[in-house]
A and B are shown apart, each in its own frame.
Chain A
Amino acid sequence: MTAVDGLRVAFRALAANKLRTALTLLGMVIGVAAVITLMSIGAGVQTSIEERIRQAGTNLLSVSPGASSNRFGGFRTRSGGGGGGVQTLTAQDADAIAEANIPGITSIYASRSFNGSFVSADGAVQASVQGVNEVYPAVRNVEVGTGSFFSADDVDRASRVVVIGDTLATDLFPNGDAVGETVRLNTQPFTIVGVLASDGGSSFQSNDESAFVPLPTLTSRLNPSKTSAGDDVVSSIVVQLVDESDATVAGVTQEIENLLLSRHDSEEQDFSVGSQADQIETISEVTDTMTLFLGAVAGISLLVGGIGIMNIMLVSVTERTREIGIRKAIGAKRRDIMSQFMIEAVAVSMGGGLAGVLIGVGISLGLNELGAGAEQPTGGGGARGNPFAGGLVTTITAEPIILALVVSVVIGLVFGIYPASRASRLAPIEALRYE
């Protein structure tokens, strides 16, 4: 019996039971499609977060309070909660770093944020207010749409000026230009000097719903928080470097650590210095784990699909006992019967795998399309507070596709082998007598 004969026999049997074959196939299709879709979502989330961090500049060092390596400093500056319980980093630390003239540093700012309430004639909104200095837009690649960012002068004088995000501007001044208007922030009048250009609004680390004030304004007028020594607590200090070479990063990190250790006069290091590369690495680890987890969940449905194949193959062997007996009586050997049923099982699992890949890729591309639609500024309002909502970006890579196909073939082999060997072992006379 040739391979072509084997395929023909198997496909005839599958075609004879179309509905059953289709349902068994469906189990595999769902499993494989789920693996592909979920893994592409995981990869997409990872790509979009990394992109966002890169966009913010990879030549940055972030100093965070707390002894442990605070790798999530980048998240925390945006979360508005301040630095948890640890309050060891101060605005004066930042000034000291700036005054030390460490080679390799081009700009530096300290920041802290709180949740402020804005009231205008047309609206009232809660938003994260971040205290920074005038270098912020240059360091973080933030673009000002109308007006301008506040000046060094504003920072020195702790002026009541605010720069607001695009969505915030629309919420507070739906009828037009917000620049030059006065808004009440925690009941105090502030002048809006600039509105940031929208950055899409739906992605991770968006500024569309944030506001920025000079850090001294925040620490003195809005949300004072002092250490026992009377210094102003900040949640992070961000340093921009001349380049992102390892030598520069290591050198500046060392200098900052030495300086702050001597300033803090503490036994243990009560802060940590991390680079954007560290952040990307950490986030990659997290998203890799997430992707793997999603894949594993989907893998369970693949397993269930495989059990479905085995189940239906066992039914099929029982149903076709007489057929097997006839085939054996006229001269079929064990391996002929074995290969007939193995080919059936693998054909179903591989066919399901192929269809699943097509559907999975289709769903991933479809999600991308939906995501692209939601990225439009008009849809941005729906994404409030959730960096992932709306623009779900998926990234399709070759690995999960190949993996899913290989796994589906393996599943066919593994779950087909028992029914097939059972069929091949049937005694001819008993199989012939079977009703």
Chain B
Amino acid sequence: MTATTDRPPPTIDVVGLTKTYQMGDVKVEALRGVTFTIEPGEMVAIMGPSGSGKSTAMNLLGCLDSPTEGSYRLDGEDVEGLSEDALADIRLRKIGFVFQSFNLLPRMTAREQVELPLMYAGARKRRDRALEALATVGLADRVDHTPVELSGGQQQRVAMARALVTRPQLLLADEPTGNLDTASADEIMDAIEQLNIERGITTILVTHEMEVALRARRIIRFRDGLVEKDEVMT
């Protein structure tokens, strides 16, 4: 008993997760009952053809959307039935996002981009923390550059710094290398892997590329809204 209570709760614990969209007259079942757990510090790749429900799953795991049915406990906290603002607060405190299309704000310098979540959190010493996060992703010399002045790989690293600066438990990367050339993609994946190992940030990444997926130690394959295969790499 003592051993189990001391153990931290899984970062992600989903049971029977279902998401149904109403597209005009047609009901689309994007997820049809998905169950899995991800322990703290794991690095998991989610793969699957388009339409398999992996993006929907990412949105639900990222608290950007609410499931139609099923339960989702994030870091032991039940997310079900929370208000939009409460979900925003969870995103702010616990989750960092890296998107395929970077999703940086135009006309803002790298430092300002990274300060943004700290601003919404009402944190102090934002400047110092933003500069530190940028240094972690190797952009200490680009802090005053705006997105148009940065390469794709550099932009994605700014996005990573923005995701990390609030010290989240969970990093969600949705095809983080999809818009990058091979060299930049390797750099980004190195950075993600390094953070996972050094800081123990639970990392979930969606990808098409086997090469990228193999960086993870576990691959969950989706097909037709269900988990097709959940395998641990050796």
Q: Which of A12, A332, A335, A432 contacts B64 (CB 8 A)?
A: A432
On whether the beta carbons of B162 and A330 are closer than 8 Å, the reply is yes
Which of A22-30, A92-100, A320-328, A374-382 is the contact stretch?
A320-328
Q: Give Cα A83 to B122, complex, Å.
A: 78
- Interface-centre pick from A331, A335, A336, A428 (highest chain B CB count, 10 A): A331
Which A residue's beta carbon lies closest to that of B59? A429
On whether the beta carbons of A429 and B120 are closer than 8 Å, the reply is no
Q: Known contacts being A1-B119, A429-B65, A432-B64, is A331 close to B92, with CB within 8 Å?
A: yes
On whether the beta carbons of A12 and B88 are closer than 8 Å, the reply is no
Q: Known contacts being A328-B88, A429-B64, A429-B65, is A333 close to B120, with CB within 8 Å?
A: yes
Residues of chain B lying within 8 A (CB to CB) of residue A266: none
Q: How far is the CB of B197 from chain A (nearest CB, A)?
A: 24
Which chain B residues numbered 96 to 149 have a C-beta less than 8 Å away from chain A?
A: 97, 99, 103-108, 116-117, 119-122
On whether the beta carbons of B107 and A333 are closer than 8 Å, the reply is no
Q: Give Cα A323 to B62, complex, Å.
A: 18
Residues of chain B lying within 8 A (CB to CB) of residue A16: 107
Closest CB pairs A-B (n = 10): A331-B92, A333-B85, A333-B88, A330-B117, A428-B64, A331-B120, A326-B103, A331-B91, A429-B64, A332-B120
Which chain A residues numbered 318 to 358 have a C-beta less than 8 Å away from chain B?
A: 322-323, 325-336
On whether the beta carbons of A329 and B85 are closer than 8 Å, the reply is no
Is the CB of A101 closer than 8 A to any CB of chain B? no
Is the CB of B231 closer than 8 A to any CB of chain A? no
Q: Give Cα A16 to B92, complex, Å.
A: 26
Residues of chain B lying within 8 A (CB to CB) of residue A323: 105-106
Is the CB of A175 closer than 8 A to any CB of chain B? no
Interface of chain A: mostly helix, strand, loop or mixed: helix
Interface pairs (26), CB distance under 8 Å: A1-B120, A1-B122, A2-B122, A5-B119, A16-B107, A322-B103, A327-B105, A327-B116, A329-B97, A330-B91, A330-B92, A330-B117, A330-B120, A331-B91, A331-B117, A331-B121, A331-B166, A334-B85, A334-B88, A335-B85, A428-B64, A428-B65, A429-B65, A432-B64, A432-B99, A432-B103
Which A residue's beta carbon lies closest to that of B126? A5
Q: How far is the CB of B201 from chain A (nearest CB, A)?
A: 16
On whether the beta carbons of A329 and B122 are closer than 8 Å, the reply is no
Residues of chain A lying within 8 A (CB to CB) of residue B92: 330-331
Is the CB of B84 closer than 8 A to any CB of chain A? yes
Is the CB of B39 closer than 8 A to any CB of chain A? no
Q: How far is the CB of A2 from chain B (nearest CB, A)?
A: 7
Q: How far is the CB of A12 from chain B (nearest CB, A)?
A: 7
Q: Which of A1, A5, A326, A334 contacts B105 (CB 8 A)?
A: A326
Q: Known contacts being A334-B85, A429-B65, is A329 close to B91, with CB within 8 Å?
A: yes
Instruction: Using A12-B108, A327-B120, A333-B89 as known contacts, list a sample of 8 further A-B pairs with CB atoms less than 8 Å apart, ordered by residue number in A.
Output: A326-B105, A327-B116, A329-B103, A331-B92, A332-B88, A332-B120, A334-B84, A432-B99
Which B residue's beta carbon lies closest to that of A425? B84
Q: How far is the CB of B41 from chain A (nearest CB, A)?
A: 23
Residues of chain B lying within 8 A (CB to CB) of residue A331: 88-89, 91-93, 117, 120-121, 166
Residues of chain A lying within 8 A (CB to CB) of residue B88: 328, 331-334
Q: Give Cα A352 to B228, complex, Å.
A: 61
Q: Give Cα A332 to B99, complex, Å.
A: 17
Which A residue's beta carbon lies closest to that of B87? A428
Residues of chain A lying within 8 A (CB to CB) of residue B119: 1, 5
On whether the beta carbons of B97 and A330 are closer than 8 Å, the reply is yes
Q: How far is the CB of A5 from chain B (nearest CB, A)?
A: 5
Q: Give Cα A329 to B120, complex, Å.
A: 11
Q: How far is the CB of B168 from chain A (nearest CB, A)?
A: 10
Residues of chain B lying within 8 A (CB to CB) of residue A332: 88, 120
Q: How far is the CB of A388 from chain B (nearest CB, A)?
A: 53
Residues of chain A lying within 8 A (CB to CB) of residue B65: 427-429
Question: B190-216 vs A: 1/0 string, CB under 8 Å?
Answer: 000000000000000000000000000
- Interface-centre pick from A1, A327, A329, A432 (highest chain B CB count, 10 A): A329
